[in-house]
Amino acid sequence: MSTKRAMAYHYSVTCFIYFLLLIPLLATLVYSLCDQWGATILPSGFTFKWYIQLWTDPRFLTALYHSMTLAVGTLILSAVLIVPCVFVVFYYYPKLDTGLNILTLLPFAIPPVVSSVGLLQLYSDYPLLLTGTPWILVGCYVGIALPFIYRAVNNNLRALNVHDLMDAARLLGASSTQAFFKLILPNIRKGLMASLFLSFSFLIGEFVFANLLAGANFETLQVYLYNMQQNSSHFTSALVISYFSITLILTLLATRFNR
Amino acid sequence: MNNRLCRPFLVFIPFFIILGLFQLAPLVWVVINSFINNDGHWSLANYQQVVSSPFYRQAFTHSFLVSIFSAVAGLLIATIGCASLRHMQGKIRNIMIAFTNMTSNFAGVPLAFAFIIVLGFNGAITLILRKWGWINSFDLYGTQGLSVVYTYFQIPLAMLLLYPAFDALKVDWEEAASLLGASHRYYWQHIALPVLSPALLGTFIILLANGLGTYATAYTLTSGNYNLVTVRIANLVAGDLFLQPNLAAAISVILMSLLIFITCVNQWLVKRSYHVY
């Protein structure tokens, strides 16, 4: 095969795959911007009214607020809980790394539906009445964020010369805790931020826990989206595109931080 | 252990409390209660009920059919795509990888909505295909439709997982092979695919597990009417009919055991497969 023909092949294959991946998104975008698209191939009537209707709906704004505060709160808690652990394992107990590694994969290996079976039975009654409140979601979402934060911080620590840095800090009279906050933390900030943004887009996309454990009592963006399916599909399209734009901005921010 | 080594251990306490409460405790509850029958005694009744019921067996068959199909199709498309993506210029390639990253987030409820618009009964693509006479009707809400939607969300995931593995293929290998008279096909069959096989097998397992565990997409698309394992589990703990959490636990344990079994077979295959280093 000549190089020119080979390149033509590679370009057409890549373009075709990405075109396939784009179709649902493009169609949703067009759908959200037109007045009517019934049983015809082409849409008619360009309008912004679905977006205006969506962004003035108080229920949507509440759901957005719920999702945002839930995700931000969870991520702050996750960072506070997980980062010191990863550092302590890395610096003091490197042998525990394998064990912690397996533990981080646990949330991946167990489907959320399966966890929900146990969670619904354990926390639906006194003394731990958590179902229907955002607190149970916070607990579950820490598990979802765990693998991302663990990977990022661990990789960052590997790239640093942690032992020399800590020795130098102690030689200059800093305690281990001081050295962690003033020296290690600023050095892993970038990777940590990138992993937090990545987890953020995962968390606001979470549906199973949100629907089964909190449901209508604490409606998140995804649950709102699900409950709106009886509405006009133009309206839901505007919702999907708005939701997707939010994730897009976050992914872009994550890649910015990752550089 | 002296004091210097003991104090850092304290940071684990809150971490393990949260993880224990929300990850381990529910898992332990599921495993234990799957062996407890309706009267509160130890028994295998729940398992017997699952195995003997055609309805639950159908759920497993459906789940595996759709997951295996989508994992194989997604893996195939992703392999072809990654092989070509490697030949793109740096800048185009980076944009495409960023786009893959983005679409891998496009799953669940929003994805189901998008597919209803595109491939639903009056969807744009359905209408085009019907006009051209390629299809009479497309059932988005059955096995056929779910397989397509699942494949859609498997492709970006497979590409993200596979792409780094393609770095193991050195460019000079292909040149060396063609200098020695190997055809393009021979190179792929005897050099590239064997080298990639551990990554391909590993990705396949992740895709399969991803497909089996998926709930939101199918639930939105079919309103829970299509019989899948995850839909059955959710219905037994949060459905409209009477609830049977212990039966749901038994189904969950069977599902996880099957996943563990597949992973073990996969590990064994990976060990036997070709290794570069």
- Taking an 8 Å cut-off on Cβ atoms, the answer to whether A23 and B108 are in contact is no
Smallest Cβ–Cβ distance between A207 and the set B216, B238, B248 belongs to B216
Residue B142 CA to residue B147 CA, distance in Å, equals: 9
Locate the chain B residue with the closest alpha carbon to A27: B118
The whole-number pLDDT of residue A139 equals 92
Cβ contact (<8 Å) for B155 and A136?
no
| Spatial separation of the C-alpha atoms in residues A251 and B89, rounded to whole Å | 22
Q: Are A191 and A153 spatial neighbours (Cβ–Cβ below 8 Å)?
A: yes
Q: Do A118 and B106 touch (CB under 8 A)?
A: no
Tell me, what's the pLDDT at B1? 43
- Mean pLDDT, residues B102-109 taken together: 83
- Model pLDDT, residue B133: 75
Q: What would the mean pLDDT of A196-220 be, rounded to a whole number?
A: 89
pLDDT tens sequence across B180-201: 888 888 888 888 888 888 889 8
> Does B277 have pLDDT greater than 50?
no
Please tell me which of the candidates B11, B116, B220 has its beta carbon nearest to residue A226.
Answer: B220
Strand extents, DSSP E, chain A: 34-36, 44-46
With CA atoms as reference, report the closest residue to A210 among A104, A115, A81: A115
For B14-50, what is each residue's pLDDT tens digit?
Answer: 999 999 999 999 999 999 999 998 888 898 889 999 9
Say yes or no to pLDDT of A58 above 60: yes
Structure tokens at B57: 């067996």
- In this structure, are residues A131 and A213 in contact, taking their beta carbons and an 8 Å threshold? yes
Q: What is the per-residue pLDDT for B70? A: 96
Contact of B82 with B169, CB cutoff 8 Å:
no
Interface contact flag, B111 A24, Cβ < 8 Å: yes
Task: Say which residue, A224 or B166, is predicted with more confidence.
Answer: A224
- Which one of B5, B88, B107 has the shortest CB-CB distance to A14? B88
Domains contained in chain B, CATH given: 50-272 (1.10.3720.10)
pLDDT at B4: 58
Residue A218 is inside which H or E element, if any? none
Interchain pair B233, A113: CB under 8 A: yes
Which one is predicted more confidently, A44 or A25?
A25
At residue A2 the predicted structure's pLDDT band, cuts being 50, 70 and 90, is: low
- Is B245 within 8 Å of A117 when comparing Cβ atoms? yes
Q: Which long-range contacts (CB under 8 A, 24 or more apart) does B162-169 make?
A: B162/B75, B162/B78, B162/B79, B162/B82, B162/B196, B162/B199, B162/B200, B162/B203, B163/B82, B163/B85, B163/B97, B165/B196, B165/B199, B165/B200, B166/B82, B166/B83, B166/B86, B166/B196, B168/B195, B168/B196, B168/B199, B168/B276, B169/B195, B169/B196
> Which residues, listed in sequence order, are joined to residue A34 by a DSSP beta bridge?
A46
Arithmetic mean of pLDDT over chain A: 86
Mean pLDDT along residues A136-150: 91
Please give the average per-residue pLDDT across B156-166, as a whole number. Answer: 88
* A210 and A204 Cβ atoms separated by less than 8 Å: no
CATH fold group of domain A51-258: MetI-like fold (1.10.3720)
Percentages helix, strand, coil for chain A (3-state, rounded to 5) are: 80, 0, 15
Burial (Cβ within 10 Å: 0-12, 13-18, ≥19) of residue B113: buried
| Range among A174-188, B66-80, B101-115 rated most confident | B66-80
Please check whether residue B254 is in contact with residue B50, taking contact to mean a CB–CB distance below 8 angstroms. Answer: yes
**DSSP for residue B170:** -
Select from A13, A112, A121 the Cβ nearest to the Cβ of B80: A13
pLDDT at residue B61, as a whole number: 95
The reply to whether omega before B156 is within 30° of 0 (cis) is no
Specify burial of residue B15 (Cβ count, 10 A radius: 0-12, 13-18, 19+): buried
The interface predicted TM-score (ipTM) is 0.84
Number of A to B CB contacts under 8 A, please give it. 210
Q: What are B235-247's pLDDT values in tens digits?
A: 998 876 778 899 9
User: Residue ranges per domain, chain A?
Assistant: 3-47, 51-258
Region A97-113: what's the mean pLDDT?
Answer: 82
Residue B63's SS3 state is helix
Distance CA A158, CA A191 (A): 12
The three-state secondary structure class of A45 is strand
pLDDT of residue B250: 95
Measured between alpha carbons, how far is B185 from B192 in angstroms, rounded to an integer?
10
